[in-house]
Amino acid sequence: MRKRFVRRLAPVAVMALTPMAAVTIATPAVSSAQCDPGQYWEPFSKACLPLGQGPTPLNCDPGQWWDPSGNVCRPLGQGPTPLGCDPGQWWDPTTNVCRPLGEGPPGPPGG
């Protein structure tokens, strides 16, 4: 009797859970800001920008690198020093803090 109940319940459970699984797989991760469709959150300028548009790297001289947080060229070896984050964390240079993996930089104020 119990096996028959489980056999009847299993297809119902699958039908109920399938839409939730599809939404979970098909929905992209939410960024730290709620940008309009066709836009993305750009953490250095702290603004929503159209897809395909973003900061343009400067053409730095040899021995320099482009620092997008200040939009300047810096000598190699100079710049923000990454924190020694614990395993399962990443260094967020925009705020100089360690964040859990999967967590993005903060969104716009009031956003």
18-48 tens-digit pLDDT: 666 554 454 444 445 688 898 887 776 778 8
Question: Number of folded domains in the chain?
Answer: 1
- The continuous run of DSSP H or E covering 41 comes out as strand 39-42
Range of the domain at 88: 29-100
Is residue 108 in a domain?
no
Tens-place pLDDT, residues 72-99: 888 988 777 677 889 999 888 777 788 8
Task: Please state whether beta strands 97-100 and 89-92 pair in parallel, antiparallel, or not at all (unpaired).
Answer: antiparallel
Is residue 109 in a domain?
no
Is residue 17 in a domain?
no
How far apart CA 48 and CA 42 sit, in angstroms, is: 6
How far apart CA 4 and CA 7 sit, in angstroms, is: 5
How far apart CA 49 and CA 26 sit, in angstroms, is: 23
